[in-house]
Amino acid sequence: MSFHGQKILPAVRSMKDFDKLLNMNYRYGVFLDIHIGMLKSVYQYAKQHKKNMFLHVDLIHGLKSDEYAAEYICQEIKPYGLVSTKTNVITKAKQKGALAIQRTFIIDSSAMETSIKLVEKANPDYIEVLPGVVPKVIHQLHKKTGKPIFAGGLIETPEEVEEAIAAGAAAITTSNVELWKYFEPEQ
């Protein structure tokens, strides 16, 4: 399984990494840890380079992560999609026509059940599960929700990427540039 032919969704944490992504054959990626003042310009630049970028709303510096922020971002920035742990952000993203990724942290069986309930309530397009190095969790979450899964967090090797994909992940979100290079799509 893959996300539009990509096993990796590069997760950009710095402008230096964004520059690297722009020079690679990836079509999709995720912005993490970005300042509100940079949003418009980096999205314009990404669109000029035909990059469809998700935006992790919870990690925007200078903007509260809530449904008002989601509405503003969808109207003004027009990202490919929004990532958040918050159901109100996911709901607003869907209302505004953006793809919605609900980020979940599965640390035990209680967190798994809570995550399933939140997914049922918000109905995201995708679920990002962290940590992504537990194939059993990827498989169970996909089976119980029917939603495509992105796996992220603590994935460090090509073998771990392949294990997550084999368990049912649609793609791996990672800021590890070496994994970006290893799994870079053909042109």
Structure tokens at 73: 């971002």
Strands 34-35 and 52-56: unpaired
Q: Provide the phi-psi class of 43: left if phi over 0, else alpha when psi is between -120 and 50, else beta.
A: alpha
The model's pTM is: 0.96
In one letter, which amino acid is 131?
Answer: P
**Cα 1 from chain centroid?**
16
Dump pLDDT digits (tens) for 96-112. Answer: 999 999 999 999 999 99
Token pair for 124 = 């995201």
Comparing CA positions, the residue from 80, 29, 37, 86 lying closest to residue 57 is 86
DSSP code at position 153: S
**Which tokens go with 47?**
């669109």
Query: What's the Cα-to-Cα distance from 89 to each of 18, 85, 104, rounded to whole Å?
Result: 25, 8, 14
Report residue 102 as tokens: 């609900």
What pLDDT, on a 0 to 100 scale, did the predictor assign at position 2? 80
Angle, CA 106 vertex, CA 100 and CA 107 arms, to 5°: 155
Task: For residue range 150-165, list pLDDT tens digits in order.
Answer: 999 999 999 999 999 9
Phi, psi of 26 (to 5 degrees): -75, 140
What is the chain's pLDDT, residue by residue, as a tens digit (187 residues)? 689 999 999 999 999 999 999 999 999 999 999 999 999 999 999 999 999 999 999 999 999 999 999 999 999 999 999 999 999 999 999 999 999 999 999 999 999 999 999 999 999 999 999 999 999 999 999 999 999 999 999 999 999 999 999 999 999 999 999 999 999 999 8
pLDDT recorded at residue 1: 60
| Class for the domain spanning 8-182 | alpha beta
Q: Quick one: tokens of 160? A: 């771990």
Domain parsing of the chain, residue ranges: 8-182
CB 97 within 8 A of CB 132: no
Give the C-alpha separation, 78 to 137, whole Å: 32
Q: What is d(CA 89, CA 107) in angstroms, rounded to the nearest whole number? A: 22
